């Protein structure tokens, strides 16, 4: 689960960079739920993994969390949230 959430977070981060381009901000509407699923997978990975093996899941949770925060800020600045 940790590896999946880490890869999910990397894909979400690359998608976030594309969504920062002007006129492509609509991608944040799809990006935020995508990253939320990745964060959910990371949370499950943290719950069901031994303490020594939680590094990838924690990294995936952090990446997905950063993407969610940046996506929400980008939508609020661009007027996407009414």
For residues 59 and 6, the answer to whether their CB atoms sit within 8 Å is: yes
In the chain, what are the domain boundaries?
Answer: 2-18+25-78
For residues 9 and 38, the answer to whether their CB atoms sit within 8 Å is: yes
The pLDDT, as a whole number, for residue 82 is 58
Its pTM stands at: 0.88
Q: Determine how many CB atoms are found less than 10 A away from the CB of residue 53.
A: 11
Contacts of 32 (CB under 8 A, 6+ apart): 67, 68, 71, 72, 75
pLDDT tens digit sequence for 33-78: 999 999 999 999 999 999 898 999 999 999 999 999 999 998 888 7
Cα distances (angstroms) measured from residue 28 to each of 6, 20, 31: 19, 9, 5
């Amino acid at each position: 689960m940790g590896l999946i959430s880490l890869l999910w977070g990397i894909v979400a981060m690359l998608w976030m960079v594309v969504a920062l381009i002007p006129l492509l901000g609509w991608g944040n509407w799809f990006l935020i739920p995508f990253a939320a699923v990745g964060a959910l997978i990371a949370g499950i990975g943290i719950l069901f993994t031994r303490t020594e093996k939680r590094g990838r899941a924690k990294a995936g949770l952090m990446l997905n969390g950063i993407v969610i925060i940046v996506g929400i800020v980008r939508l609020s600045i661009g007027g996407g949230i009414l």
